[in-house]
Amino acid sequence: MFRTQVNLQQAELQNILKDYEDLAGSNPMHLRTMIPTEEIWRFFVNGDHQEKGKNIRAYFVGRDIPNCSIKELAEKEASTENCTWESAPFMQLVKKSKWNLTEAECALMTVEDFLCLDQAWMQYENEKNYLLALTHAFQEIFDFDVAADANFVKKLQGIAGGQVGSTNYDNEETVNKPGQFRMTEAAFYNLTPNNGSAEGYLEVLDRNVSCIWFELEVFDSNDNNMQLGVININAQNLQKIKYAINDIDAEKKSRGKTQSYNFPLAEYCESFDKREFIQSIKNNENNLQDLLRMLAASKNNKDLADIIFNLVKNPVFDNYQFSLKSKQMPEDEVQQILEREIAKKFVAYEEAIRQSKNPLEKVYAIVSLAQECDQVHPFIDINGRAFYLLLMNYMLMREGFPPVILNSIVRISARSKEYVVQEVLVGMQNTLQLVKEKKLFNIVTADIIKQLSSRPGLKYYADYFSEVCKIEEIGRANMHNKKNQKNI
């Protein structure tokens, strides 16, 4: 099955590389100049979002889209729902989609305007200056004389995260800064059926990386806001889970009591009160023991990956959450440990490139570097942008591939390498389509700008975007000047 998929991917990649050669002579700088300046934002916004937005258009399936402002629609709904316009059904959908519109914007923006803009970049500006910061960072990935290493990644992340609002760096208590590996916090992201797969989980387990593990977070079954504790799970402690279940069963038979600190899984448990948490496992409170028994049924890493994914995809209880976690480290050693881990990834990458026998193997090496660095989560925020949107595109262009417009950086977090490579191939095709047609997903950015500029109250969106375009224009001019200097 895997070999068949690889053969298909090799054929697909050969077609992409031929297309790239025909369009731009396989030259990333030439390709860049063939893309309209106003279309560069495509590289920073998920293709899924560009195609569908938050799918708000589905709200109007089976009926005409009203020719009125958002506020007027909300007011009409409010009159029949006996609520305020802010609480009307359509406004609830807008808020659920994480749009933060002011009353003035709702009064100025027509429903059709909104449906069009929902597929553009505006929603990402919930993190203020998101697009501006990424466009600044984008300029750095066209300097192919720069060494690809941890320092380069830190530079990219620092620019992409600098001056951006509503990120984890806004926390007044944090000592972390953009452009630095994290100093204290253990980093994690929640696993969902959408961002991972059993095959992806298995790859994490098989790599057996000491600083990454799966975390089972358990909440009070009567209050899902009250965390009881977490159990850390990796390839090494599967046997400890089995021992723990055996101890529990032996204790039940003997009706004896075992001290909590002798519990085989104790070192992998975290809680405000570890003894009480372990006792709750023994008593099967809040389904804890049942969850561990399911995990203990694993005979190998594949079984464990399958069981975790099934528990993520089809929850048997409503009081637990699995996450992929870069574990807590000694505070005075965190940055040094992360430096070593990321450095190892680059060394492995360079070796994989040297050993590669064909272009597809190079793509797999690039994907492995980006995904495995992201899973370590060395920054407290902006990891996906740094590794998938910036570093990966730099590596792809440096190795002779077109950059990618990924359909989703969320969806590839804990998927298999094979899956992510396929997403990268689709992302290359998105880029080449943009070059050929000067538009993508049937949206022409110039039309959006014209739409925004025609309404005085929304013109600041267009003015902001004009700043973004100027950054890209300056970057292209600098790139051209640098090329000319080299030719002198």
Tell whether the model's pLDDT for residue 2 goes beyond 70: no
Q: How do residues 323-381 score in pLDDT, each as one tens digit?
A: 999 877 888 899 999 999 999 999 999 999 999 999 999 999 999 999 999 999 999 99
As for how many domains the chain has, the answer is: 2
pTM of the full predicted structure?
A: 0.93
Residue finishing a domain among 302, 326, 350: 326
- Using CA atoms, how far apart are residues 156 and 277, in angstroms rounded to an integer? 42
Q: How do residues 372-423 score in pLDDT, each as one tens digit?
A: 999 999 999 999 999 999 999 999 999 999 999 999 999 999 999 999 999 9
Q: Is the domain of 431 the same as that of 452?
A: yes
Q: Which residue, among 318, 374, 323, 316, has the nearest Cα to 345 in the 3D structure?
A: 374
Structural domain includes residue 227: yes
CB 188 within 8 Å of CB 215: yes
Q: Is the domain of 312 the same as that of 361?
A: no
Q: Is the domain of 389 the same as that of 272?
A: no
Structural domain includes residue 160: no
Q: How do residues 181-221 score in pLDDT, each as one tens digit?
A: 998 767 888 999 999 999 999 999 999 887 889 999 999 98
Structural domain includes residue 157: no
Q: Is the domain of 308 the same as that of 427?
A: no
74 vs 223: which has the higher pLDDT: 74
Structural domain includes residue 117: no
400 vs 254: which has the higher pLDDT: 400
Which residue range(s) make up the domain with 230? 187-326
Tell whether the model's pLDDT for residue 261 goes beyond 70: no
- Using CA atoms, how far apart are residues 205 and 472, in angstroms rounded to an integer? 41
Q: How do residues 62-78 score in pLDDT, each as one tens digit?
A: 999 999 999 999 999 99
- DSSP assignment of 418-476 equals HHHHHHHHHHHHHHHHHHHHS-BTTB-HHHHHHHHHTSGGGHHHHHHHHHHHHHHHHHH
- Using CA atoms, how far apart are residues 145 and 387, in angstroms rounded to an integer? 19
Structural domain includes residue 129: no
